[in-house]
Amino acid sequence: MLMNLRYYNIKENNIMDVKMKYIEDTLEGKTILITGGAGFIGSNLAFYFQENHPEAKVVILDSFRSGEKLSNGNLKSFGHFKNLIGFRGEIISGDINDKDLLLDLEVNYNFDYIFHEAAISDTTALEQDLMIKTNVNAYKDLLHLARSHGANMIYASSAATYGNASSPQRVGRESPNNVYGFSKLSMDNISREYMKESDISIVGLRYFNVYGAREYFKNSTASMILQFGHQLLAGKNPRLFENSDKILRDFIYIEDIIQANIKAMHPKQSGIYNVGTGKARSFQDIVDILQKELGTSFVCEYIPNPFVGSYQFHTEADITTTKEILGYEPRFEMEDGIKAYVSEIQRIYKEEVK
């Protein structure tokens, strides 16, 4: 059982380098499937298990990028091999819509845990058919796989389910305003039906605005923390929408996302839970903190916001139930997260952008 988890801070050279560490029972003999394992959150999960539970078998399933694009010009898949450099587990290239592949997984493996991160995750995608097929229909097939193996399911839901619902956002008050949010809410509804008749635990984690290592290959959909960081490193004035000090979001560092996933492996009860910090911060805060960490002092440029009317101006996760049921406790204020992330922002800029 993975119930009693502790954390501690590491301090090196008088600079706080905050890292999550968990002390858990062994996962020896356990097999873990991570769909979307070459993506942002999936690859971080893979390395968490490799570094902390080398006795477990980790299998990654990802479609990887092929150059195929959606009608909005963005890539269909963000999975990238560079996110997995150093990973020693098994890697399968495949599409979760491939029923023959899922049958092969059912017959030839015996999973104990499934972390489902694969999705069409572009909130601006217009392909409703592909979004529903990939995010909803394939998820139901994966739930069948989980139940046949007796594997606990932990899957990525999203704060996009809330749309423009008032803050703080609470489970049960959803109003998606794009097909991505609708697809994630549909996944949650399917999950609730399975929870009624299944012995496995099923946990949906509604991620808010996640940032951190291994997000670069999401391209234009990467966090504004990474994008602003690279603007500053390029010597450019950061460009923000007008009134950015009043545009507030719940930004959550990747380490806290991993924490929530690990604690969801054996929850007190199945359910849908918000994963955020419970605090709303502004885009202006991001730039100000980055400037401090990078030692820059560029003048901000403010431009009209073309997304007024279709833009979330305030997100803030109600994490009361997440704390009670999962034992989750966010550890990273934005200042801590950016401080921990800034060296990676610099590395990526030097190796991939410059």
Options 218, 273, 339, 349, the catalytic residue:
218
In the annotation, is 7 catalytic? no
Q: Is 218 considered catalytic here?
A: yes
Rounded CA separation 67/61 (Å): 18
Dihedral angle computed from the Cα positions of residues 332, 47, 201 and 129, in that order, rounded to the nearest 10 degrees: 90
Nearest to 286 by CA among 226, 213, 198: 226
HSE (side-chain half, CA atoms, 13 Å) at 299: 1
Q: Strands 152-158 and 202-207, how do they pair?
A: parallel
Specify the 3-state DSSP secondary structure of 336. helix
Q: Is 85 exposed, middle or buried (0-12, 13-18, 19+ CB in 10 A)?
A: exposed
Give 108's contacts (C-beta < 8 A, 6+ positions apart): none
Structure-block tokens of residue 16: 């706080």
Catalytic residue among 180, 211, 273, 349: 180
Active site positions, annotated: 180, 218
